[in-house]
Amino acid sequence: MMKKIISFFVCSLFLLPSLFSQNKTLVVKVDERTELLGVVCYLADYNEYKRSIMFKDFRDNIEEYFKPYLNDTVFSYAKHLKQERGIGYDAPMSYAINLIIEDSLRFNTNIQYSIWEHDNRWTKETAEHFLLLLNDFYFKTNFRDFYNKNFDFYSKLEEGFKPLINEVNLSWFDSFYSQKSNNNFSVIISPISGPNNYGPKLTYKNSDEYVYSIMGSWIFDSTMTINKKTSIYIIQTLIHEFNHSYCNPMVEKHWDLIEKNSEKIYKLVEVDMSNQAYPSPVYMMNETFVRAAAIKYLADNSKVDLETLFKQEEDRSFFCIRDVYQAFDTYSKERSKYPDFNSFMPEFANQFNKINPRKLKKAIKKYYSDFTIKTSIKDGQDNVSPQTKEIIIKFNREMNTGCNGRISWGRISDVSYLPKVISANWNNETKKEWIVKIELEPNKEYSLSFPYRFFYDSKGKQGNRNKTFYLDFKPGK
């Protein structure tokens, strides 16, 4: 899984000039199954599936084709699944690859585990009921016809990606983890997934494994091609997503060894992890493993600035990244002692559990700026004048006025509760005020927020990513 951040690091990276020699191949395609689930999530108003700013014509095609079916039961149930079971982001895509499409949609019975056996967001009941509704929707709408009508569009996306295939060293994964697997690597392009990417895996009963990197539309420009400036980030994302298929099962298998310290560390960064769609200690550790492994891949295959990579992960609250990477490097150098990663996990746990959460808390506090925020309109204020034309965000110290802040959703996560923003500029005299010009409507509730992470003080230190200033107010009539 991945969530919500388009590229997980940006660095000065020079790929080795030669292509890697490898026996494994990388399949690239747009998949009817993920398109089906993507369309359902899009029309069920899953925010993460409505964030794509690319391919407006394709989005228009979706809305036009399925307009007669917007009241279908599949959408109300999809909304229920999101609200009650936390189905979102990677969950629908992982569900999709567990399906086969023949005379109907069916669960693949040749895989070792059903979707509800390895993802507790699903139950057997909810997964099977959703399948019934998907089948009805699939045939009622003649979804195959929609898919075929967009064949040329899908083909252009596939062809645009193929030049990158040989730039990923697929053999590194089996070598590093010592899993001499029957892995089959696939890239599924999901134009409806926007800025998101996911890394699920299927293990078949004959031990064959299919490792997927499901990539959103962010990888393309408006001409459906990939330019050289973005290709390195796409390769990095592929590496990241493929590592999920190795790391997630490892964390799950040995969770009891690292659970206690993981929970303590998670509490220190819970807000920021949740903002990045990592809602539990398990998700945090999956992601930490993957990010450390991705850095290790880059270090083994290219010239990198490790300090830059570590700093970029710490900027996203992965403050254990150096310790985890160091453990991975130890494993890599002592393969005679640890023949595979599973055999190393007890030693990893030994090293990881030496991280002192109290010391880490102090380090995190020093990492961020300790500025505070106040606003000219008070949180919870009623009868605000509808003629109010600005909100002044006041800081207790000089700020970096070259870096504009950001307004986000408030306690009510709905864009309709945000005021109309005309402009946002710093007071360059005091450097302590960010002035947001607005237009208000009488007797309307507003709910917005100012996440600290989008502001930097004059010394360049970022605001605490785990703090957000909330502002709810209502103008009078």
Q: Are residues 261 and 387 in the same domain?
A: no
Please choose, from the candidates 222, 454, 53, the residue with its C-alpha nearest in 3D space to the C-alpha of residue 230.
222
Q: Are residues 95 and 238 in the same domain?
A: yes
pLDDT score recorded for residue 182: 66
Whether residue 251 lies inside any domain: the answer is no
Q: Which residues are bridge partners to 111 per DSSP?
A: 204
pLDDT score recorded for residue 54: 76
Average pLDDT (229-246) is: 84
Residues in the chain: 477
Q: Which residues are bridge partners to 214 per DSSP?
A: 188, 198
Rounded Cα distance, 166 and 23, in Å: 11
CB 35 within 8 A of CB 188: no
Whether residue 5 lies inside any domain: the answer is no
CB 20 within 8 A of CB 171: yes
Whether residue 4 lies inside any domain: the answer is no
Q: Are residues 170 and 285 in the same domain?
A: no
Residue 21: domain span:
14-244
pLDDT score recorded for residue 18: 32
Burial category of 342 from C-beta neighbours within 10 Å (exposed 0-12, middle 13-18, buried 19 and up): middle
Q: Considering only residues 100 and 244, tell me which one the structure prediction assigns the higher pLDDT.
A: 100
Rounded Cα distance, 274 and 117, in Å: 24
Positive or negative, the CA dihedral 334, 338, 339, 341 is: negative
Q: Which residues are bridge partners to 446 per DSSP?
A: 473
pLDDT score recorded for residue 166: 78
Whether residue 2 lies inside any domain: the answer is no
Q: Are residues 275 and 229 in the same domain?
A: no
Q: Hey, which of 70-79, 270-279, 397-406 has the most confident mean pLDDT?
A: 70-79
Tell me phi and psi for residue 170, to 5 degrees. Answer: -65, -30
Buried-state track 97-107, b at ≥16 Cβ within 10 A, e below 16:
bbbebeeebeb
Average pLDDT (55-66) is: 93
Mean pLDDT of the chain: 90
pLDDT score recorded for residue 177: 93
CA 55 to chain centre: 20
**Helix H segments across 216-280?**
228-253, 255-275
Whether residue 7 lies inside any domain: the answer is no
pLDDT score recorded for residue 191: 92
Whether residue 310 lies inside any domain: the answer is yes
Q: Is the pLDDT of residue 1 over 60?
A: no
Q: Considering only residues 50 and 323, tell me which one the structure prediction assigns the higher pLDDT.
A: 323
Last residue of a domain, one of 352, 367, 382: 367
Residue with tokens 């585990």: 113
pLDDT band of residue 181 (cuts 50, 70, 90) is low
Q: Are residues 135 and 192 in the same domain?
A: yes
pLDDT score recorded for residue 89: 92
Q: Are residues 179 and 44 in the same domain?
A: yes
Domain containing 401 — which CATH number? 2.60.40.1220
pLDDT score recorded for residue 97: 96
Q: Are residues 190 and 281 in the same domain?
A: no
pLDDT band of residue 8 (cuts 50, 70, 90) is very low
Average pLDDT (362-383) is: 94
Q: Are residues 80 and 141 in the same domain?
A: yes
Rounded Cα distance, 192 and 52, in Å: 7
Q: Are residues 148 and 118 in the same domain?
A: yes
Q: pLDDT of 395-409, one tens digit each?
A: 999 999 998 899 998
pLDDT score recorded for residue 462: 92
pLDDT score recorded for residue 277: 83
Q: Number of structural domains, the chain?
A: 3
Rounded Cα distance, 411 and 379, in Å: 11
Q: Which residues contact 39 (CB under 8 A, 6 or more apart)?
A: 62, 66, 143, 146, 192
Average pLDDT (95-101) is: 97
Q: pLDDT of 301-312, one tens digit each?
A: 988 899 999 999
For helices 321-333 and 306-314, what crossing angle results, to 10°?
140
Whether residue 250 lies inside any domain: the answer is no
Last residue of a domain, one of 347, 367, 387: 367
Q: pLDDT of 441-476, one tens digit each?
A: 999 999 999 999 999 999 999 999 889 999 999 999
Q: Are residues 321 and 430 in the same domain?
A: no
Q: How many Cα atoms within 13 Å fall on the side-chain side of residue 340?
A: 11
Q: Are residues 168 and 289 in the same domain?
A: no
Whether residue 3 lies inside any domain: the answer is no
Rounded Cα distance, 93 and 106, in Å: 15
Last residue of a domain, one of 335, 367, 399: 367
Q: Are residues 126 and 184 in the same domain?
A: yes
What is the per-residue DSSP string for 405-429?
---EE-SS--GGGSPEEEEEEE-TT
CA distances from 472 to 74, 284, 444 (A): 34, 30, 11
CB 471 within 8 A of CB 449: yes
